[in-house]
Amino acid sequence: MIAEFGLAALWLAAALTALQLLAGSLGLSARGAVLGGVVRPVAVVQGALALLAFLSLMALFATTDLSVKLVAENSHSAKPLIYKLAGTWGNHEGSMLLWVTVMGVAGAFVALVERRLPEPTMLATLAGQAFVSLGFYAFLLLASNPFERLSPAPAEGHGLNPLLQDPGLAFHPPTLYLGYVGLSVAFSFAVGALVTREVGPAFARTMRPWVLGAWLLLTLGITAGSYWAYYDLGWGGWWFWDPVENASLMPWLAATALLHSAGVLASRNALRAWTVMLGVIAFSMSMVGTFLVRSGILTSVHAFAIDPLRGTFILGLLAIDIGGALLLFGLRAGTVTEGKRFAVVSRESALVFNNVMLTSILGIVLVGTLYPLLTEAFGEKVSVGPPYFDPMAALFAIPMLIVVAIGPLLRWRRDRFGRIGARLIAPALLALGTGLVLALTTYIALLPLLGLAMAPAVAVASVLPLLGRELRRTPLPVWGMVVAHFGLAVALFGMACDSAFTQERLLAARVGDTVAVGPWRVLLAGVAPVAGPNWTALQAEMQARYNNGGTVVLHPQSRTFWAPPQTTSVSALRTRWNGQLYVVLGEETEDGRWQLRLWWKPFVTMIWGGGVLVALGGFLALIGRVASDLRRIVARDKIAYRRGRQGR
């Protein structure tokens, strides 16, 4: 009965989405103005119904209702509850239902709270959101029904992919989806502003919190996903330029550019065309990522769909949504005025430069991701990996980081480098000195060397905008910028250290053998079987000592799941302030030895610590922007109230 209720809610939500699109479109004309009044209530009810449908699916997974095909294929009665619930979105149909649910709830929230734009622009925005949502509703109901029944019901389910049976899965995909859908709201605002020709500071101020929130969630999602892949897959790496990783990186790059562009438009009434175009591109990258992961053209732990019909459907949605938005932009671009001009040496110019760098990196990642798929379509397999991505991305990232250090010190509209030259001496000397010392004392590759040289310089430069300010009165968005840029420097330092100083040992050892890796001495004390709720494992006891310190015990596992049958490696980590020991247990050889893989990774945790700091900076900026907007709205309402009283 729950499945039928969820399916009915999904159909009703789709019908109301069609009504929202129709009423929002017709409400823009004088004849259909009366329909405009129903758009906001319809959007709220549609979002509530989508949420009910998703909660119904969660209930089916929580109770392991095996009469539902999706539950039978992706769950098992013996699984812990957290993984039963994670199974809701750990598959194709459930993840797409999560997508439309978050999109519906976001549209409902926009309808409830946004009052800053003219009503015609809001109607066009909600109609644009409905247009995008309707395609995904059609996809779910016609090609990927999550509530499809099985008759007869199987005695037991297949279970969730063991690689996805990790607490990180409970947070990583939903966080990314919230970020993707936040960009869909920004996309809808851009479409609404183009339709009504209201591209100005008010539009940017309304859109900016949504972009900031989406960017913050994407940052957290990518950071969590990187750490999950690092410790759960047992490969010892934090980024592999996998197409699915790139699918999440591309929207983040576009959202970063959009965030800065929207800030300039909101506060300085410049970069109008840039802001609208980036609003379209950012969500376009989310759609491209959806196509890559859901179409079946990729083979990955993240890629769920294998039905070509689904891939064709999503490709059609991408062509309609993005092609339509680009066509609208082309038709209305002439009506988007230039805005106020600024000098070459100004903060606006620095932001434009970095937007160009970000979009260039985006183009590099997009080409490198799609090129192997294109060549494979013509019968030739090509692999594109770090040898392409690392130097090509660095070519644009390095000048971008230099401008990240300089830009916040520049004034708006017009400035001169002579005014800020004294402040830049310390970061410049730090970069040059660090680079020179490392080049003379160690042998490391060029890119890690540049990263180690630039990271401390960017860190110092990030706090320079606070000089001369009264810190207690410094606005939260300024603090957010400082923390985010400092976090970028921290992450860069961690990345460079991991590339430059990681030490690895791959060997076969007997029980009682001691292995050295970096400053660690690790003794294989024994291997014994253990059991979990839905798995068994061979677990090693490894006694590790850092230099001459005390002994710590690590327990890496070779774990075997029975639903579905699969063997995975569970790494063991020992974290110190200056790095991380990483140990993986492999198979037993014929002569009784055990395959071991050990890494010593200096300062690797700073990668994810930096990511958290970047997200924290976004959170501070978001709180500051929302508080500022609320103060502005309250002040406007007070003025309107006083005028009303005076009119009486």
Q: Which of 23-32, 51-60, 91-100, 626-635 has the lowest mean pLDDT?
A: 626-635
Q: Which of 313-327, 469-483, 606-620 has the highest mean pLDDT?
A: 606-620
Rounded CA-CA distance 141/182 in Å is: 23
Of 346, 164, 360, 117, the residue nearest 254 (C-alpha) = 360
Q: What are the percentages of helix, strand and coil residues in the chain, rounded to 5?
A: 65, 10, 20
Give yes or no for a contact between 132 and 103, defined as CB atoms under 8 angstroms apart. yes
* pLDDT band at 646; cut points 50, 70, 90: low
Per-residue pLDDT at 305 exceeds 60 = no
Residue 134 has pLDDT above 90, yes or no: yes
3-state secondary structure 8-44: HHHHHHHHHHHHHHHHHHHCCCCCCHHHHHHHHHHHH
At 301, the pLDDT band (50, 70, 90 cuts) reads: very low
pLDDT for the residue 303:
47
Quick one: pLDDT at residue 295? Answer: 61
Contact 607, 226 (CB under 8 A): yes
What would the pLDDT profile of 509-559 be if each residue is shown by its tens digit?
Answer: 999 999 999 999 999 999 999 988 778 899 999 999 999 889 999 999 999
Least confident of 319-323, 338-342, 480-484: 338-342
Q: What's the CA gap between 66 and 64, in Å, rounded?
A: 6
Q: What pLDDT is stored for residue 643 in this prediction?
A: 67
DSSP of 497-561, one letter per residue? HHHHH-EEEEEEE-TT-EEEETTEEEEEEEEEEEE-SSEEEEEEEEEEEETTS-EEEE--EEEEE
User: Residue 287 has what pLDDT?
Assistant: 85
Residue keyed to tokens 């409830």: 112
Read off the amino acid at residue 87: G
d(CA 144, CA 310): 8
53 by Cβ neighbours in 10 Å (0-12 / 13-18 / 19+) ranks as buried
Q: What percent of the chain has pLDDT over 70?
A: 94
Indicate the domain borders of the chain. Answer: 503-602
Residue 339 pLDDT exceeds 80: no
In which element (H, E) is residue 576 found?
strand 572-576
The more confidently predicted of residues 166 and 585 is: 585
Runs of H (alpha helix) within 29-152 = 39-62, 69-74, 81-86, 92-113, 119-143
Please state the rounded mean pLDDT for residues 590-612.
95
pLDDT tens track for 146-172: 999 988 888 787 776 776 677 766 677
Give dist(CA 58, CA 146) in Å, integer. Answer: 11
Instruction: Decide: helix, strand or coil at residue 91.
Output: coil
Handedness of CA 359, 360, 366, 369 (dihedral sign): negative
pLDDT at 1: 84
User: How sure is the predictor about 579, in pLDDT bands with cuts at 50, 70 and 90?
Assistant: very high
The arithmetic mean of pLDDT across residues 178-183, rounded, is: 87
Secondary structure of 117-133 in the HEC alphabet?
CCHHHHHHHHHHHHHHH
Q: How many residues does the chain have?
A: 648
Token readout for 492 is 């860069």
Q: Which of 46, 45, 39 is nearest to 22 (CA)?
A: 39
376-393: b or e for each residue (b if 16 or more CB lie within 10 Å)? Answer: eeeeeeeebeeeebeebb
302 confidence band (pLDDT: 50, 70, 90): very low
104-113, 120-129, 130-139, 282-291: range with lowest mean pLDDT: 282-291
Average pLDDT, the chain: 89
* β-sheet bridge partners, residue 516: 521
Could you tell me the two tokens for 69? 């095909």
The mean pLDDT of 500-507, rounded to a whole number, is 94
Give pLDDT tens digits for 388-409.
Answer: 999 999 999 999 999 999 999 9
Contact 162, 566 (CB under 8 A): yes
Least confident stretch, 130-139, 479-488, 620-629: 620-629
What is the rounded CA–CA span in Å between residue 345 and residue 410?
8
**Contact criterion met (CB below 8 Å) for 63 and 93:** no
Mean pLDDT of 460-487: 94
- Measured CA to CA, the distance from residue 9 to residue 171 in angstroms comes to 25
Distance in angstroms (rounded) separating the CA atoms of residues 326 and 262: 19
Alpha-carbon torsion, ordered 586, 591, 593, 595, to 10 deg:
-30
Of the pLDDT bands very low, low, confident and very high (cuts 50, 70, 90), residue 297 is: low
pLDDT in tens, 37-95: 899 999 999 999 999 999 999 999 999 999 999 999 888 887 788 888 888 888 888 98
294's tokens? 């859901």
Quick one: DSSP state of residue 570?
E
Give the separation between CA 514 and CA 399, rounded to whole angstroms: 46
Q: Environment class of residue 242 by beta-carbon count within 10 Å: exposed (0-12), middle (13-18) or buried (19+)? A: middle
Query: pTM (2 decimals)?
Result: 0.92
